[in-house]
Amino acid sequence: MRRNRSLEQAIRRLRERRLVEFVSQDGKVQLQITEAGRKRLRRFEFEDMRLALPARWDKQWTIILFDIPEREKAARDALQRKLREIGCFQFHKSVFVHPADCADEIDFVTETFLVSRYVTHFRTPSLGSQEYRVRRHFALR
């Protein structure tokens, strides 16, 4: 009985904040997340995002390069902060590296900051003579 009351209270709070709504479909009433609820979920996913190191590394690096204009400095700074926060290594000023294949995550981050047209990423087997720095950072052999 107590569990039902807690659930009802939680649903009521979510409805008051317009994060969920009841929808009647085929004679059944269903609880459905609203667009505002989806946006809030995406924000939490974005804030908590971290790139995991692969269990078995394929010896390929994801390189993230960007050239964001000065007029979008705030977005550029936010992107750099987020790339560091999710676990990328800053190889150069506008070059970040990670050992995982993280194309989807990078696309999500760059789309969130509205800078995807200035960013490119790809996989490569070598980082040249400075690869030792990145291997050491990620503790890879």
Residues with Cβ within 8 Å of residue 109, at least 6 apart in sequence: 46, 49, 79, 82, 83, 86
Other Cβ atoms less than 10 A from the Cβ of 110: the count is 23
The residue with tokens 């676990």 is 87
Residue spans of the domains in the chain: they are 2-48, 61-138
As a whole number of angstroms, the distance between CA 137 and CA 127 comes to 13
pLDDT truncated to tens, each residue of the chain (141 aa)? 455 777 788 788 888 888 889 999 888 989 898 988 888 777 778 888 999 998 999 999 999 999 999 999 999 999 999 999 999 999 999 999 999 999 989 998 998 899 999 999 999 999 999 999 999 999 998
Fold of 61-138: Alpha-Beta Plaits (3.30.70)
State residue 43's pLDDT score.
Answer: 74
